[in-house]
Amino acid sequence: MARSKSDISNGALRIFLQEVGKFYDTKRGFEPFGPKKKQKQVLLEYFKYQCCFCGSDITEKSLSQDHLIPMNKTALGLHAWVNIVPCCQTCNNEKQQKDWQEFLKFKSSNSEFKARTQRITSFVKKMGYDPNLDLHKYVDNLYQDVGEVTMTLINLRLKQAEDAINTLLKSG
């Protein structure tokens, strides 16, 4: 449950990035990333049933998915094909909002780092994902708008609740 105006704005931001991701996938000729069983298979096969960060073996059951570029106000990663990669639960929990290349350096030896970086970047290139899509002006406006609209609605309902309490206390 949202505890503050920023929580509500962050929720709206994530929905926005999911919807933009669906549109972006469709425009690139892909079914929007679900993930559906077939989509999970594509990820697992491309990454040879291994976590893209640490290389541990994963199955469809143990598959966790990570957004290479985090879905947050700063990074603005989309919930779309290629921005989602297969990883193990441990790496997904550890990476959080970190830059994927920095996290990969932390999880890999030099030779593993080069090979894993190449696999990830070739996947990004093959699937035509441009991580430089600049949505900041839209997101900044959305973030502010959602917070203001939310507070307006909260204040309206708060006033109604206060009026109801005053009426109740006057009659009692």
| Alpha-helical runs (H) found in 47-135 | 89-95, 100-107, 110-127
**How many independent structural domains does the chain possess?**
1
pTM (two decimals): 0.82
**Cα–Cα distance measured from residue 35 to residue 39, given in angstroms and rounded to the nearest whole number:** 6
pLDDT of residue 172: 64
pLDDT of residue 37: 92
For residue 59, the enclosing domain spans 5-171
Running along the chain, 172 residues long, what does each successive block of 10 average in pLDDT? 73 92 94 92 96 96 93 91 94 94 94 95 90 84 88 93 94 73
**Cα–Cα distance measured from residue 107 to residue 140, given in angstroms and rounded to the nearest whole number:** 33
Dihedral of alpha carbons 10, 15, 19, 21, sign: positive
pLDDT of residue 112: 94
pLDDT in tens, 83-119: 999 999 999 999 999 999 999 999 999 889 999 999 9
pLDDT of residue 2: 57
Distances in whole angstroms, Cα of residue 64 to Cα of each of 37, 60, 96, 124: 13, 9, 13, 18
**Cα–Cα distance measured from residue 24 to residue 89, given in angstroms and rounded to the nearest whole number:** 27
The residue type found at 76 is L
